[in-house]
Amino acid sequence: MTTELGGAARALRTPRAAAVAGILFSVLLVVVLVIIRSTVPAEASAGATWLDDPSQRRLVVFALNLVPFAGIAFLWFIGAVRDHVGAAEDRFFATVFLGSGLLFVAMLFVGTALASGLAAGIDAQSSAAETAVSQMSRHTSSVVITVYAMRMAGVFIVSTTSITDRLGVIPRWLTIYGYLSAVVLLLTVGTLPWIELLFPVWTFVLSVHLLRSRFQTDRSVKPAAES
């Protein structure tokens, strides 16, 4: 009896951990993307002159320093979701789910490292004169994050939505919302400004739903355990 209760408690904690980690990741990534989009000019012709302003540079550096914590929360989210799925895990979707999630984090970190190097290089100089190196660093960072990483995010949404839909843990509207978000990211990311916000917003909605479902389950399980 004690073993059964321990297993039930672990099963209850896992989705809750996934939901909390997903919400934390969503908030951090939204803050990062909003700061970067609001501070860094979209036009390449603007060069790196925007980094001449110390307050803007500090704000960008602050946003970049949040990225590792967002990545850690996302990895926790992946692990908690996989643990919740457990034996019901489909090998095909599990491989795509894990691979796309890890690639997303890796590309996010690579793009952030390039952007941090650009900001540090400009900070070390007294001028933000655009050089061939800074142009390449800025363009590569933008492409890695907004094109490749976000397309991996789209694949992650597809695999996660497929897994959770098969397990019956999300409603139909969330399934449709997930697939639509993935299609939009896969086809339009890099061409439409702010479209990359779809990923953290989707993660937030999914996490809130998981947390809300878990609280409802907790309330139903507690009277049964007491009886």
Say what the pLDDT of residue 202 is.
Answer: 96
Say what the pLDDT of residue 39 is.
Answer: 80
Helix 91-124 to helix 54-85 angle, to the nearest 10 degrees? 160
What are the residues whose beta carbons fall under 8 Å from the beta carbon of 160, sequence distance 6 or more? 81, 97, 178, 206
Integer Cα distance of 197 and 179 in angstroms: 15
Per-residue model confidence as pLDDT tens for the chain (227 residues):
444 444 444 444 566 778 899 999 999 999 999 988 888 765 555 555 556 667 777 888 899 999 999 999 999 999 878 776 766 667 788 889 999 999 999 999 999 988 887 777 665 554 444 566 667 777 788 888 888 999 999 999 999 999 888 888 889 999 999 999 999 999 998 788 889 999 999 999 999 988 887 776 656 555 545 55
Return phi, psi of residue 210, to 5°: -65, -40
Q: What angle do CA 61, 67, 72 make, to 5 degrees?
A: 150
Q: Which of 161, 187, 184 is nearest to 81 (CA)?
A: 161
Whether the model clears a pTM of 0.75, i.e. scores above it, the answer is yes
Quote the radius of gyration of the chain (alpha carbons, Å).
Answer: 20
- The answer to whether 6 and 13 have CB atoms below 8 angstroms apart is no
- The answer to whether 105 and 50 have CB atoms below 8 angstroms apart is no
Q: Which of 14, 74, 3 is nearest to 213 (CA)?
A: 14
List the domain boundaries for the chain: 2-226
